[in-house]
């Protein structure tokens, strides 16, 4: 497809990616911008990453770039670093060939599959017309040629991008068995780009969703972050439910939502995902800590019950630990995220206690802001009174003296209400003292110190 037939301009391509492309071309190798970058540029989006495909072997790429590092065992790749930007360079891979009867090793170990047909290692190099068949979706299989600025399309990806259709290359059953994570990638791209998953691509997913059970939990953690922290979390979650994938990623969450789909914790989940999308779209930070608090809260609520002011914090933390430990068997959430998650949820109990200066110390807690945002979600979902969330909202901009006056005034008010209930009237503490003939409380007398014992 000639330059005049597509909208991609070099002005929108990373200057560092252009350096890599031109140096490979000048060294006599084929060099193409490929994958999501070409797709996003066609859609008028700004690509997050720029990937390059080339006829040069990884070792040859390394010889051309001093700032290059070879990585990967499953797929051998070259990373060319320019400051904080990394241009990933991959060598064209060969097309699928006949494999051993036991799904084992072929071609001197260049391609290795497990007993399920999942690819463990694939470093069999080939030509560009073979490489295209190794990519997952047609929309990701477009090649931008730096030599004449044309787009090479072997599988109809250009039309699929224009029509916003997500179509798997090759036989869907085989491709999902090779790499079950492709099912999550289908959901992610459909949610992120607003694409419709082609019926042939969507049909095998519910049947093969069980294959996600064999994917390493650490890899699933990365995929979940890509799915939920890219600005399309709510749509992605809906697709996980629709494709019957959720129960293989968050089995306890799927059970809790099935039993009580209309409870406040379920509403909190959807409000939290929508809020995450809004933060991404406004360039505000998002973290896996808050994301997994949202995703696990319905399970914690289901097992523990509603929080009250007299709830035992240790009992709550014990349930949190049980829920997190069970989830770790599916998705390996690092401790640097689960530890602050526990703190953030434990602070929800302290929001109920607003009397005295001890309440002010909560404002200085390092997890206060995250815990406060979670409290706002609970209020929006109907789990706690709006008045509680509004009180903590109002106190934050006050100066120190005004904060003290507010909490001490509340302490006196609550203490007075307690006396009023006990005496059948709404008197404050001063009135009660006046009724007993004492305007001021008694002062304690100090006992005189004993003289030291004689030695």
Q: What is the 3-state secondary structure (H, E, C) of the chain?
A: CCHHHCCCCHHHCCHHHHHHHHHHHHCCCCEEEECHHHHHHHCCCCCCCCEEEECCCHHHHHHHCCCEEEECCCCCEEEEEECCEEEEEEECECCCCCCCCCCCEEHHHCEEECCCCCEEEECCECCHHHHHHHCCEHHHCEEEECCCCCEEECCCHHHHHHHCEECECCCHHHHHHHCCHHHHHHHHHHHHHCCEECHHHHCCHHHHHHHHHHCCHHHHHHHHHHHHCCCCHHHHHHHHHHCCCHHHHCHHHHHHHHHCCCCHHHHHHHHHHHHHHHHHHCCCCCCHHHHHHHHHHHHHHHHHCCCCCCCCHHHHHHHHHHHHHHHHCCCCCCHHHHHHHHHHHHHHHHCCCCCCCHHHHHHHCCCHHHHHHHHHHHHHCCCCCHHHHHHHHHHCCCCHHHHHHHHHHHHHHHHHHHHHHHHCCCCCHHHHHHHCCCCCCCCCCCCCCCCCCCC
- Same domain flag for 270 and 233: no
Residue 452 lies in a domain: no
Residues 50, 33: Cα–Cα separation, whole Å: 7
Residues 53, 379: Cα–Cα separation, whole Å: 50
- Same domain flag for 135 and 30: yes
Residues 412, 55: Cα–Cα separation, whole Å: 78
Task: Judge whether 115 and 104 are in contact, CB under 8 Å.
Answer: no
User: What percent of the chain has pLDDT above 70?
Assistant: 83
Task: Judge whether 91 and 58 are in contact, CB under 8 Å.
Answer: yes
Whether residue 451 has pLDDT greater than 80: no
Residues 401, 187: Cα–Cα separation, whole Å: 52
| Structure confidence at residue 410 (pLDDT) | 67
As a dihedral over the C-alpha atoms of residue 384, residue 386, residue 392, residue 397, rounded to 10 degrees, the angle is 160
Task: Judge whether 188 and 157 are in contact, CB under 8 Å.
Answer: no
- Same domain flag for 363 and 394: yes
How much is the average pLDDT of 11-19? 97
| Structure confidence at residue 137 (pLDDT) | 97
Residues 282, 172: Cα–Cα separation, whole Å: 36
Residues 78, 70: Cα–Cα separation, whole Å: 5
Residue 446 lies in a domain: no
CA of residue 30 relative to chain centroid, distance: 37
- Same domain flag for 204 and 293: no
- Same domain flag for 356 and 396: yes
**Domain final position from 245, 261, 276:** 245
Classify the phi-psi angles of 356: left when phi > 0, otherwise alpha if psi is within -120 to 50, otherwise beta.
left
- Same domain flag for 66 and 148: yes
Residue 232 lies in a domain: yes
Instruction: Using pLDDT thresholds of 50, 70 and 90, give the confidence band for residue 226.
Output: very high
Residue 26 lies in a domain: yes
| Structure confidence at residue 134 (pLDDT) | 87
How much is the average pLDDT of 233-246? 97
| Structure confidence at residue 378 (pLDDT) | 96
- Same domain flag for 235 and 342: no
Residue 403 lies in a domain: yes
Instruction: Using pLDDT thresholds of 50, 70 and 90, give the confidence band for residue 433.
Output: very low
Whether residue 317 has pLDDT greater than 80: yes
- Same domain flag for 315 and 191: no
Residue 323 lies in a domain: yes
- What number of other Cβ atoms are within 10 A of residue 401's Cβ? 8
> Which residue range forms the structural domain that includes residue 366?
250-419
The pLDDT tens digits for 84-118 are 999 999 999 987 543 333 333 344 445 555 555 55
- Same domain flag for 118 and 201: no
Residues 280, 263: Cα–Cα separation, whole Å: 27
How many domains, the chain? 4
Whether residue 183 has pLDDT greater than 50: yes
How much is the average pLDDT of 205-216? 96
Task: Judge whether 217 and 331 are in contact, CB under 8 Å.
Answer: yes
The pLDDT tens digits for 18-63 are 999 999 999 999 999 999 999 999 999 999 999 999 999 999 999 9
How much is the average pLDDT of 233-249? 97
Residue 369 lies in a domain: yes
How much is the average pLDDT of 358-370? 92
Residue 430 lies in a domain: no
- Same domain flag for 110 and 241: no
- Same domain flag for 266 and 389: yes
**Domain final position from 230, 245, 260:** 245
Give the CATH number, domain containing residue 219: 1.10.110
Task: Judge whether 111 and 122 are in contact, CB under 8 Å.
Answer: yes
- Same domain flag for 64 and 50: yes
**Domain final position from 205, 222, 245:** 245
Active site residues: 49, 51, 136
Two structure tokens written together for 247: 């129960």
């Amino acid at each position: 497809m000639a330059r005049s037939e597509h909208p991609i301009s070099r002005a929108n391509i990373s200057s560092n990616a252009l350096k890599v492309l031109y140096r490979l071309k000048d060294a006599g190798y084929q060099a193409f911008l490929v994958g999501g970058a070409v797709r996003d540029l066609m859609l008028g989006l700004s690509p997050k990453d720029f990937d390059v495909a080339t006829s040069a072997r990884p070792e040859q790429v390394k010889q051309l770039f001093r700032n290059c590092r070879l990585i990967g065992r499953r797929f051998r790749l070259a990373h060319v670093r320019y400051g904080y930007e990394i241009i990933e360079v991959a060598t064209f891979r060969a097309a699928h060939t006949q494999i051993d009867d036991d799904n084992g090793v072929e071609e001197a170990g260049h391609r290795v599959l497990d007993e399920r047909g999942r690819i463990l290692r694939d470093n069999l190099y080939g030509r560009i017309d073979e490489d295209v068949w190794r990519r997952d979706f047609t929309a990701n299989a477009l090649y931008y040629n730096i030599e004449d600025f044309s787009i090479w399309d072997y599988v109809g990806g250009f039309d699929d991008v224009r029509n916003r259709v997500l179509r798997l290359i090759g036989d869907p059953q085989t491709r999902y068995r090779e790499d079950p994570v492709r099912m999550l990638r289908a959901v992610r791209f459909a949610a992120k780009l607003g694409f419709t998953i082609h019926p042939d691509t969507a049909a095998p997913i519910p049947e093969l969703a069980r294959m996600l059970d064999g994917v390493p939990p650490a890899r699933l953690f990365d995929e979940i972050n890509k799915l939920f922290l890219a600005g399309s979390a709510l749509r992605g979650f809906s697709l996980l439910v629709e494709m019957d994938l959720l129960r293989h990623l968050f089995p306890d969450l799927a059970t809790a939502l099935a039993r009580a789909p209309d409870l406040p914790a379920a509403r909190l989940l959807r409000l939290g995902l929508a809020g995450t999308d809004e933060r991404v779209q406004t360039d505000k930070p998002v973290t896996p800590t808050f994301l997994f608090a949202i995703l696990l809260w319905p399970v914690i609520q289901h097992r523990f019950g509603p929080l009250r002011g007299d709830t035992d914090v240790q009992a709550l933390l014990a349930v949190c630990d049980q829920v997190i430990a069970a989830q770790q068997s599916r998705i390996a959430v690092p401790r640097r995220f689960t530890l602050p998650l526990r703190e953030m949820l434990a602070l929800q109990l302290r929001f109920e206690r607003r009397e005295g200066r001890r309440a002010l110390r909560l404002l200085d807690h390092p997890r206060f802001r995250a815990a406060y945002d979670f409290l706002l979600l609970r209020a929006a979902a109907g789990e706690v009174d709006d008045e509680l969330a509004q009180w903590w909202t109002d106190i934050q901009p006050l100066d120190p003296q005004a904060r003290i006056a507010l909490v001490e005034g509340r302490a006196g008010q609550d203490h007075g209400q307690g006396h009023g209930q006990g005496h059948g009237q709404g008197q404050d503490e001063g009135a009660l003292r006046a009724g007993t003939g004492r305007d001021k409380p008694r002062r304690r007398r100090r006992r005189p110190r004993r003289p030291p014992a004689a030695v």
